Each structure stands twice: as structure tokens, then as C-alpha cells.
Amino acid sequence: MFLRECWRMNTHDKLAVGLREAAVMLSLSTRLLQNFIAANRIPARKVGKRTLILVRDLEVFVRTDQPSPLRRRRTVA
């Protein structure tokens, strides 16, 4: 147990976090966080199958006033 805790990095020491961890940090759902990313309000990077978000980008996001992202409506062709 002690070794596992030693290997885990504190969030403040990390440069980037995954989607789920970022959602927990912001107290948002992962879906709402994905909407903010899709609306280009939070920059994110894909690394393989993972979506990574820089911790400093999350801090900038929290410090600025952000309206909720608009849902993309599906257009019926």
C-alpha cells in the first residue's frame, strides 16, 4: 500500500490530467467537460486514445467567467 501511494503524483505536480480526473478537479461531469472542449473553451490534446488537459489550462478556465457551452443540435437532412 505504501509503495502505491509513493508512486502516485499529487495533482499539483502533474502537467496534464485525463478527462475523468479533470472533471473531478472542476466538479463537473465528464460530458459537460467534453462539451467545453468541443466548444474550444478548454484546450485538450489526444494522446492515443486518451484526452489530456493541461492543469494550467484548467486553472485559466476556472479563473475566467464561462457560460455553459451550447449543445450542438443534430440537423436532419
Contact present, 55 and 17 (Cβ < 8 Å): yes
Residue range 2-63 forms a domain whose CATH class is mainly alpha
Q: Model's pTM, two decimal places?
A: 0.70
C-alpha cell of 45? Answer: 490534446
φ and ψ at residue 50, rounded to 5 degrees: -85, 150
Summarize pLDDT for 5-63 with one digit per residue, the tens: 544 556 568 899 999 999 999 999 999 999 999 999 999 999 999 999 999 999 999 99
